[in-house]
Amino acid sequence: MKLYEKTAHELHDLLQAKEISATELTAEVLAHVDEVENKIGAYIEITRDKATADAKAVDEKISRGEKISALEGIPCAVKDNICTKGIRTTCASKILENFVPPYDATAYNKLSAQNPILIGKANMDEFAMGGSTENSGFHVTRNPHNLDCVPGGSSGGSAAAVAGGEAVFALGSDTGGSIRQPASFCGVVGLKPTYGRVSRYGLVAYASSLDQIGTITRDVEDCANVMNAIAGHDEMDSTSTAAPVPDFTKSLVADVKGLKIGLPKEYFVKGIDGEVEKSVRKAAETFEKLGAEIIEISLPHTDYAISTYYLIAPAEAATNLERYDGVSYGARVNGIDVVDMMTNTRTEKFGAEVKRRIMIGNYALSAGYYDAYYLKALKVRTLIQRDFIDAFKNVDVILAPTAPTAAFKIGEMISDPLKMYLQDICTVPLNLAGLPGISVPCGMTSSGLPIGFQLIGKALDEATIIKAAYTYEKNN
């Protein structure tokens, strides 16, 4: 096995034992990036000089006999909507093509304290709006398992980088499934934490009440280590929870005896691919054999989740994206006056999907429609949250497909937005409810594409879903 194919904890052991150096590891990953990046397109920017210099610093620390952190010297990628001081952060949009943040996002700052090696900023759907990474303002990212297929989105570059050996782990963001769905499509592990568990300060906003930074890793142990690095309260983020953060590595126990796992009937309905359903139900059987109790449950308002999400998220997006006006920062396209300049800037620099969501959002918030659409969507959101509260009175975790299908072909859905939006049916309810979810690989289709299931936990109970995911991983 090549070094770039190993997990972070395997590489940590090798570094600690001085069997490899961080410089050697980083050089091998960068050489692999040079070999495959023109096919996969996982990155917007590669930070080669910084990676090489940082690896040398880690080696010097090891040579002094100092202990290194679990992520020290490990190559990683960061989604390009997470601010990195002195390194371009574009959100895969032409409007921010040359934006260099003057500060680090809190999550990246906390991660940097562990001294991993940043390989680059990962491609994504523009402003995180999309589920295929076809909406990037720069290039399409391809699935390493089949280059004709999408890697999922919006964190498609992060997932493709990890799956394709271009990074060992990555940070992504999840507004409606943007970590879990690409993790499923690319055959890696993706965790969306509870809303507020990881600071959003420095995450370029899409929908502020839904966005959450999370992890994309090769296995569950790596997931726990990265979560340990980035979770925690942040005074710079008013939505950040002050709840104590457990040591997630203590959840790496292969035992689900007595665990009550809910199987929501609404997630196994017409439209779900047969191979996906078979793999997910087989995963449920595995848990049952390991001593868990499988209980069929109902989440009755699931059918309304997509409609609710695609009113709330675009409404928040329309408000958040007002700041890109060609005045303060970002690109500017001149006009005969200020209004003409703003119109030209947005017309030329925003992509089609971003424009679509801004228009949907402004419509939902407009006079005469606010009560009928946005306000009603907020009320339905509460009903969806109550569904989960009621379900968790009887079960400890919920098991469901991460996505209704495996990865689809590039271009297959891009001209049909509604069909694309329906891909989010399994993931958006968690964001509306603010709950944690982890996607874990559970098989392959007959055509060789990965399938994933997700475990949904109670608020602030990432520990239980990590434990259950780890148990499945160790017994599969």
Given the residues 178, 184, 240, 439, select the one marked as catalytic.
178
Given the residues 6, 21, 79, 121, select the one marked as catalytic.
79
Q: Is 79 a catalytic residue?
A: yes
Using CA atoms, how far apart are residues 300 and 246, in angstroms rounded to an integer? 32
202 torsion bin: left (phi>0), alpha (psi -120 to 50), beta (else): left
Q: What is the CA radius of gyration of the chain?
A: 21
Helices (H), 330-416: 338-349, 352-365, 376-391
Task: Please tell me the chain's helix, strand, coil percentages from 3-state DSSP, rounded to the nearest 5.
Answer: 45, 15, 45
Closest CA to 132 of 406, 346, 315, 321: 406
Given the residues 93, 132, 136, 154, select the one marked as catalytic.
154
Q: Is 154 a catalytic residue?
A: yes
Q: Is 192 a catalytic residue?
A: no
How close are the terminal C-alpha atoms of the chain, in Å?
Answer: 20
Using CA atoms, how far apart are residues 443 and 249, in angstroms rounded to an integer? 25
Closest CA to 449 of 385, 405, 410: 405
Within 8 A by CB and 6+ apart from 476, the residues are: 283, 286, 442
Q: Which residues are catalytic?
A: 79, 154, 178
